[in-house]
Structure 1
Amino acid sequence: MTTAPRWLTLFLDIPAANHEAGCAFWQAATGHAMSSPRGTHGEFATLVPPAGDAHLRIQSIRTGEFRVHVDLHVDDLDAAVEHALAVGAHLVARPDHAILRSPAGFVFCLVTGHGGTTRATPANWGDHRSLPDQLTVDVAHDAWEREKTFWSELTGWTVAPSARPEFARLRTPPTLPVRVLLQRLDDGATTGHLDIATDHRAAEVARLTRLGARELSGGPSWTVMTGPDHSIFCVTDRDPATGLLP
């Protein structure tokens, strides 16, 4: 049985003080419906797209700053954990799922249970479309080569070279809802952020600004923004239907 992920779910981990603002912002930003809260303290909710299967969830966290993590849905949890440890992951906890860290310290989970089969369709805003569909793992400079190897070995997906040496993309199967990009940092510890694909970046940035986000900086094909929940995310010039650059 393969240990490759059959679905990916991105979690937006929002501090409790900003949880209400974050839920309102991300529901409006995505155009998805919000499920009823779940969990012992109502800390979990799913962002449900109008078409396709959900790949975004929100979690209220008691400590720390806004962060993202990814759940990799697998068929055999024991085999997947054994494989992850063999290629360099560190086990953090093992309740009914497995919480792990990559060699550079990025937290991810291995889970079983229902994920999905159909990629969500982009939201149509009239003059443009958008879809939050990519995890960027921001890798500490001295961990770059090891982290690239780790994610490829963990998932079974090869690494696609980029025209910019600070980026590398995993060749994610097109049926999956979340793409994975690795970015080498000049300095700082390994973290991660969410990327929103759009076919009209200026229009999407303007729309998110009206919802309460602020523009922080930009690059040739991306704009860095912060939300009212203190999230950091990017709006990118990727095709929201395929997740790839034009």
Structure 2
Amino acid sequence: MAHRSRVCAVLFDVGSDSYESAARFWSGALGRTLAFDPDEKYTALRGDPDYLIQNADPGHEGVHIDIETDDVDAEVARLETLGARKRNKVKGWWVMIAPGGNPFCVVPVQSKTWPKGALEWE
């Protein structure tokens, strides 16, 4: 059965000691307005795709993407055939590792602009 997927977010994983300065930097660098929300675990730089700032555990700082899909299991299977491997499941989504070691997430549809730009896969 066909499914669709697309990049929905780019996440900047930063240490808590540099969280606010990193958020201000990426806001200025990308020309996006910060949306601090105390009820959210991210600081958003809204657009399409979204850029999000999130706290990272020490040693896990970096950048990763979220791929949103209307069928998480099918997308994970497709990406595994391309060489990715599962790292761990978190609720209804997967953290995966791409060839070369880069982590990324496969998440269910979560953006308001879905399915704009999504590709269809068999």
Q: Same fold (TM over 0.5)?
A: yes
Residues 209, 169 of structure 1: alpha-carbon distance in 2 compared, 3 angstrom cutoff: same
Report which of the two structures shows the higher radius of gyration computed on alpha carbons: 1
TM-score where L is the length of structure 2: 0.74
State the 4+ residue runs in structure 1 displaced beyond 6 angstroms. none
Distance 2:88 2:36 in 1: 26
Residues 135 and 217 of structure 1: CA distance in aligned 2, closer, same or farther (over 3 Å): same
Using the TM superposition, give the Cα deviation of residue 149 of structure 1 relative to its aligned residue in structure 2, in angstroms: 2.4
Structure 1 window deviating more from structure 2 (208-217 vs 229-238): it is 229-238
- Which of 218, 224, 231 is the equivalent residue of 2:89? 218
- 5+ long unaligned stretches in structure 2: 118-122
Any residues of structure 2 matched to 1:138-149 within 5 Å, and which? 138-149=13-24
Residue 120 of structure 2 corresponds to: none
- The letter of the residue matching 1:195 is D
Stretches of structure 1 lacking an aligned partner (at least 5 in a row): 1-124
Deviations 1:140-196 (A, max 9, x none): 12111221222234414232527443x222122x4xxx3211110122263111221
State the SS of the aligned residue for 2:115: coil
Which letter maps to 1:158?
L
- Secondary structure (helix, strand or coil) at the match of 1:187 reads coil
| 1:134 and 2:5 aligned | no
* Rounded Cα–Cα distance in structure 2 between residues aligned with 1:164 and 1:134: 15
- Name the residue aligned to 1:152: 27
Quick one: distance in 1 between partners of 2:33 and 2:85? Answer: 34
Q: Which amino acid aligns with 1:161?
A: D
Answer whether contact 1:136 1:183 (CA < 8 A) is retained: yes
State the Cα RMSD in Å: 2.5
Shift of 1:131: 0.9
CA distance in 2, matches of 1:163, 1:215: 29
- Equivalent of residue 229 in structure 1, options 67, 85, 100: 100
Please report how far the alpha carbon of residue 138 of structure 1 lies from its aligned counterpart in structure 2 after TM superposition.
Answer: 0.6
Conservation of the 8 A alpha-carbon contact between 1:162 and 1:169: no
Q: Output aligned runs, 1:46-85, within 5 Å.
A: none
TM-score by length of 1: 0.40
* 1:144 to 1:222, Cα distance in 2 relative to 1, 3 A: farther
Q: Secondary structure at the match of 1:161?
A: coil
Q: Which has the higher strand share?
A: 2
Q: Which has the higher contact order (CA 8 A, sep 6+)?
A: 2
- How far off is 1:228 after superposition? 2.6
Q: Does 1:161 align with 2:37?
A: yes
Closer/same/farther in 2, CA of residues 159 and 194 from structure 1, 3 Å limit: same
Q: Output aligned runs, 1:184-199, within 5 Å.
A: 184-188=55-59, 190-199=61-70
